[in-house]
Structure 1
Amino acid sequence: MNSVVKLLAFIFIFTISAVRSREIEENVKFFKLNEKVIYDCVDIHKQPSLSHPLLHNHKIQMEPSFSIPNPKYKEKHSTPLTVESHETHFAGVRTQDKSPYHGLAAWMSVHDLNVSNDQISYTAIYVESGVNNKVNSIQTGWMVNPSLFGDNRTWSYGFWKGANGAGCYNTICPGFVQVSKTDLLSAPFPYPGKGQGERAVYTSILQDKITGNWWTTDVKYRGPDTHIGYWPKELFDLIANSVDMVGVTGAVRASSSGISPPMGNGLLPTEDEKASAHVKNLEILDSEFIVQESNKYNLEKVLDNNKCYGLKDGKKGISFKESILFTYGGPGGDSCGI
């Protein structure tokens, strides 16, 4: 990396004041999104993520060695936990054959939801491997989580779980390496403006063939993609080389009282696909690092509760790129079970 890049490569670092205290140094720029979320502008080589003990000798990768196929659409978009557990419900799809994999990309509609302080609702793509009770995983997508973000808005987010059970959301703990100076791993989605069309995010988690790092990228419909940053392969002991499963899902975490929040757009899927939360353009990076359309795979449907949530196959469009893969979601409530 030349000296000019070193001098100019500044990035935003995500911190949450409720989790970690922050000292504001004189003349350091920072941006406050709300009472909990502050971004500091620091030298890329001094970001807190690099303080992780497994990353002491890590050399920052400024961009991935791959590119993502960029479909062209006529629509306008304001684009900017996968482990089954207690009080969590899911509606989505995942692979069940032809592993190993090296990542995936998918388009997901984005919605605002009424979620209480002790509930979570999100939609995400993920990569994962597990052995016995040990799991490594990465996920990214959109989330409504008032206890994490401090408000009821819809945020983009990332989450990782790696070696020795370490991991966290966004950059609360060391791990994720932020590279983009414009697109953040976690930020609120803007409210839709008149005539902008539906809100959506088209994102990916792809392993770099050369370095083994797991990159997340904001796939653009117009112009070049934005490579946000990556989770270094050193963080993981099960997915340093590949993963056994990839998927995309809507999910919720119920409150301690047992009341489950809405999922997707809060409505059960209907015949009108555009009126339902939906996912399309799921593409999978196969064992040879080749991007494959998801219709070449036998995808397993995952719906753990059909009282409160639904999952429906999408209708076939004129092409794969124009077809909706599935619709999902529902209102939640107090009879969803645990």
Structure 2
Amino acid sequence: MSKSITCWFLILTIFIGEESIEGRTISTSVNKAIIKTIKVGTDEIIDCYDIYRQPSLNHPLLRNHSIQMTPSSQPKGIKSDDFGTLQPAQIWHKYGSCPEKTVPIRRKGKNYNPTLLRKHNHPKLATYKTHVTSKSNDDPDIHEYATIEVYGHFLGAQAKINLWKPIIETSEISVSQIWITAGEDEIINTIEAGWQVNQDLYGDDHTRFFIYWTADGYNNTGCYNLACDGFVHTASNIGLGCQFSETSIFNGDQKDATFSIHKDQNSGHWWVQLQGIPVGYYPSSLFTKLSKTATGVTWGGEIVNLKSKGRHTSTQMGNGHFPSEGGLKTSSYFHWVQVVDENNMAKDPKHVEISTTNPHCYDLKIDNHRHDTNGYGFYYGGPGYNDKCQ
């Protein structure tokens, strides 16, 4: 056999022996880390990875990393009844479960587009990138927001967010989330968590749990979910990028979930939790500015407006209704909005700044009437295109 034929034979063998996992192509040898595979309907696969052999541990900074299985402590002042109505249910649970000491990783879909990994901007960051002119999802000018923001020194934040299935136009997104940030401009560090509808990323219009991070202003580091190495997954029952099993009904049952991010007092890792369940963490070593404390926290909604029809998009934020339309059961909400201060105490945010890109398209209103039952909160969202939003 000639050298050229041998070379092509080896390449073909390697190609056949590879499978696609969300954001990565893994070899047969790595597949040995998969303990169990769960087929979810006809279009989705969940692989249960040995927790000690999960792909994120291949990150250069994590080669000798010792996994922290649970946070050493929880922020003080967070009540157990702050958690939402889900426990927490994701569609894949109907088809199976991952064993202990394994973590569920969603296999990437057929239409996976790796160029989408870093197409998420922070509201403040968008104001600094005015030099971007192309109308791709990289352009911060096409991102619109309805958010509240606070600044100081924080060890975390949380919020109970009700879940919806907004209608989105092709290749656009609708997001409801928390941003934890430090630094500014091109060196901004962020950790983000919440829910989103993102057809290009997931191949459908379902409402999914997501996380995101960057250590350099969304330029060369970071990604959604587990699409790149970094996040250390610890929960066997919660999948990143996976669909919630229920969403809220307009003027009917409300389904919500509590999302939180907090810095561990001992290890310094940034833990992400859903419904009070530790999902995993971003090691402090991944970051430059977030290695100590966050200096800003943002809560609220975001959409991408591509103006593909020559007008403002009709992609919905939240459930597509304005806060002024009635509040609870009518508008989308954030309840139990809290920051975690430097003493690891959860508190209501102070000196809040409201930021809306265009209130005629998407708006936000602080809820001043239900603090005793729902904590600090707000209603937000809107339909996009209308008579006043062109």
Is TM > 0.5 for Structure 1 vs Structure 2?
yes
How many angstroms does 1:79 deviate by? Answer: 4.5
Q: Is the contact made by 2:182 and 2:188 (CA closer than 8 Å) also made in structure 1?
A: yes
What is the aligned partner in structure 1 of residue 149 from structure 2?
94
SS in 1 for 2:188: strand
Kindly name which structure, 1 or 2, has the bigger radius of gyration based on alpha carbons.
2
Q: Which has the higher contact order (CA 8 A, sep 6+)?
A: 1
Map 1:59-138; keep pairs closer than 5 Å: 59-68=66-75, 69-72=78-81, 76-77=85-86, 79-80=88-89, 81-83=121-123, 84=126, 85-96=140-151, 99-138=152-191
In 1, are the aligned partners of 2:82 and 2:336 still within 8 Å (CA)? no
Looking at structure 2, the residues matched to 262 and 133 of structure 1 have their Cα atoms a distance apart, in angstroms, of 29
Aligned length, in residue pairs: 312
Cα distance between partner residues in 2 of 1:323 and 1:285 = 15
Counterpart for residue 298 of structure 2: 247
Q: What CA deviation, in whole Å up to 9, does each residue of 1:161-184 have, x standing for no partner?
A: 025730000000001111011122
Tell me the equivalent position of 1:21.
25
Residue 328 of structure 1 corresponds to: 380
Once the two structures are superposed, the pairs formed by residues 219-258 of structure 1 within 5 Å of their partners are 219=275, 225-255=276-306, 257=308
Matched with 1:200 is 256
Q: Which has the higher helix share?
A: 2
- Residues 1:266 and 1:41: Cα distance change in structure 2 (over 3 Å): same
Q: Distance in 2 between matches of 1:231 and 1:162?
A: 11
Aligned mates of 2:209, 2:230 — CA distance in 1: 17
User: 1:312 maps to what in 2?
Assistant: 365
Output the CA distance in 2 between the equivalents of 1:75 and 1:45.
31
User: Does 1:262 pair with 2:271?
Assistant: no
Change (3 A) 1:154 1:115: same
**2:51 aligned with 1:44, yes or no?**
yes
Q: 1:35 Cα deviation (Å)?
A: 7.2
| Cα 1:263/1:34, change in 2 over 3 Å | farther
Equivalent-residue separation in structure 2 for 1:245 and 1:41 (angstroms): 35
Please name the residue that 2:230 is paired with: 175
Distance 1:201 1:15 in 2: 27
Matched to 2:374, the amino acid is E
Q: Which residue of 2 aligns with 1:188?
A: 243
**Contact preservation (8 Å) 1:158, 1:170:** yes
CA offset at residue 55 of structure 1?
Answer: 1.4
Q: For residue 21 of structure 1, give the secondary structure of its aligned residue in structure 2.
A: strand
The structural deviation recorded for 1:218 is 1.7
Contact in 2 for aligned 1:205/1:217 (Cα 8 Å): yes
Match of 1:240, SS state, is coil
Query: In structure 2, do the counterparts of structure 1 residues 259 and 78 end up closer, same or farther at CA, with 3 Å as the change threshold?
Result: farther
Structure 2 equivalent of residue 213 of structure 1: 269
Deviations 1:115-152 (A, max 9, x none): 13310000001100123421110100000001111111
How far does residue 23 in structure 1 lie from its aligned partner after superposition?
A: 4.9
Distance 1:36 1:136 in 2: 34
Q: Distance in 1 between matches of 2:43 and 2:237?
A: 20
Within the candidate set 38, 44, 50, 1:31 is matched to: 38
Taking the aligned partners of 1:169 and 1:198, their CA distance within structure 2 comes to: 27
With over 3 angstroms needed to count, the CA separation of the structure-2 counterparts of 1:38 and 1:15, relative to structure 1, is farther
Contact kept? 2:146, 2:356, Cα under 8 Å? yes
1:47–1:256 distance in 2 versus 1, CA, 3 Å: farther
Unaligned runs of 5+ in 1: 1-13, 220-224
Q: 1:246 to 1:37 in 2, by over 3 A?
A: farther
| C-alpha contact (below 8 Å) 1:192/1:198 kept by paired residues | yes
TM-score (norm 2): 0.73
How has the CA–CA distance of structure 1 residues 43 and 140 changed in structure 2, closer, same or farther, with 3 Å as cutoff? same
- Distance apart, 1:89 and its partner CA: 0.5
Given that 1:177 and 1:229 are in contact with CA atoms closer than 8 Å, whether structure 2 keeps it comes out as: yes
